[in-house]
Amino acid sequence: MEPSTTARRAVITAEALDDVLIALTAAGYQPVGPVVRDSAIVLDALGSAADLPHGRGTETSPGHYRLRDRSDGAVFGHSTGPQSWKQYLHPARRKLWSADRDPASGDFAPEPVAEVPVRYAFVGVRPCDLAAIRILNRALRRDENAEGPFIVAVECGDPGATCFCASTGSGPGCTDSGEGYDLALTELTGSAGHRFLVTVGTARGASILDAVPHAAAPQSAVMTARRIVAEARGRMGRTLPDTDLRVLLARSAEAERWDDVASRCLACGNCTMVCPTCFCTSVEDTTDLTGDHAERWESWDSCFDIDYSYIHGGAVRTSAKSRYRQWLTHKFGTWHDQFGSSGCVGCGRCIAWCPVGIDVTEELAALDETIEPETAR
């Protein structure tokens, strides 16, 4: 796809990243982005650009994640980590309301929790995660026109071995569509110096760029950025089988492969918690010792938890086989019917962070191989 020719583009130096953070803070945003902690790249508040993972890359494979040093000093030379923007958009635990008993009447009146909205600026959102934010908002029925966090996206030049965004159509670039970000960066580390090509996505993005020292983007920088993304596309770690996954999964309900994967699956739920689009929650009420105070909490739940399918009389999906099948079938198949797209953006988190390294692309390929071609396609 050709990059949009109408978008405003500029070039900033690597040092100017700090000015971007200063401009965001001055505009009332709280910048959050990638930082190194406990030998991984996680998301946290950014005080300055020095907090970003300069010169740190990642090495991933099924069930495996390690940091490595990069000789090019790239700031965004890593692929996705154990966390995603979901932790800000859809936190692991959230109080919905609390209620106290009125001593006179004995009644309860629920008090909604006064949430002070934080104006986040998400810095370093990968193209797969841009797509994930869209999908998550749709699943949570969030108002698409409401003012969301400021988004500084970064195109990917060095996909991880567990990435397959080219198969899901969500990366490794994001500037061709011009959607979902306020500013998009492409990191240039070549002989012309460490710079970023900036593509403006929105008016508020333009005003941040205006507050930062920048130069008009030379055509050569645009061409280099385009080449970096095209090369990244050619170096994807993984691919999805080239078939209609909805049809494949609909026909695979009785496949023997589910027994095979269930023997390896720990049913630990890590895949769903690291997935940037898995949104399931449970809602629970608590009371205190006096019985005069009650609270309602929403917290992350998972189709891998036996109690998630608990209905009157018992749980419906007691076997790990049925739970794994539920997850994969929903994510890649029935998600289309429910939300009009796949639930997967090819970020590869579930592959790297599955302790036993179960690989969704491999499982889908195995299903594809065993299902009769004429019935699957």
Partner 1 sequence: MTGKPKVAVFKFASCDGCQLTLLDCEDELLALADAVEIAHFTEATRTSLPGPYDLALVEGSITTPEDAERIEQVRAQSKFLVVIGACATAGGIQALRNFGDVREFTQAVYARPDYISTLAHSTPIADHVPVDFELRGCPIDRGQLLEVITAFLAGRKPRIPDRSVCYECKARGLVCVTVAHGTPCLGPVTHAGCGAICPAFARGCFGCFGPARGANTPALIELLHQQGESPERIARFFHTFNAASPAFAKASQDAAAPEDMP
Site for partner 1 contains 269 (CB under 8 A): yes
**Span interacting with partner 1, options 20-28, 138-146, 221-229, 281-289, rule CB under 8 A:** 281-289
Site for ligand SF4 contains 277 (CB under 6 A): yes
Site for ligand SF4 contains 185 (CB under 6 A): no
Tokens 């997935």 sit at which residue? 275
DSSP, res 308: G
Whole-angstrom Cα distance, residue 34 to residue 329? 31
In the three-class reduction of DSSP (H, G, I as helix; E, B as strand; rest coil), residue 186 is classed as: strand
Which of 167, 189, 270, 329 touches ligand SF4 by CB under 6 A?
270
CA distances from 249 to 177, 306, 365 (A): 29, 22, 11
Whole-angstrom Cα distance, residue 338 to residue 75? 37
Site for partner 1 contains 72 (CB under 8 A): no
- Chain positions 298 to 357 lying near ligand SF4, rule: CB under 6 A, are 304, 331, 344-350, 354-356
Partner from partner 1, ligand SF4, none binding residue 349, C-beta < 5-8 Å depending on class: ligand SF4
One-letter amino acid at 113 equals V
Comparing CA positions, the residue from 132, 126, 173 lying closest to residue 345 is 132
In the three-class reduction of DSSP (H, G, I as helix; E, B as strand; rest coil), residue 55 is classed as: coil
Site for ligand SF4 contains 371 (CB under 6 A): no
DSSP, res 63: T
- Chain positions 127 to 156 lying near partner 1, rule: CB under 8 A, are none
Whole-angstrom Cα distance, residue 89 to residue 82? 16
Least distance to ligand SF4, CB of residue 164, Å: 7
Which of 133, 185, 271, 364 touches ligand SF4 by CB under 6 A?
271
Q: How many helices (H) and strands (E) does the chain have?
A: 14, 16
Please say which residue, 307 or 372, places its beta carbon nearer to partner 1. 307
Site for ligand SF4 contains 265 (CB under 6 A): yes
Main-chain dihedrals φ then ψ at residue 112, nearest 5 degrees: -65, 150
- In the complex, which residues of this chain contact partner 1 (CB under 8 A)? 37-40, 42, 63-66, 82-83, 87, 92-93, 263-270, 273-274, 284, 286-291, 299-300, 302, 305-307, 318, 320, 352-353, 355-356
Query: Which residues contact ligand SF4 (rule: CB under 6 A)?
Result: 265-271, 274-277, 304, 331, 344-350, 354-356, 358, 360
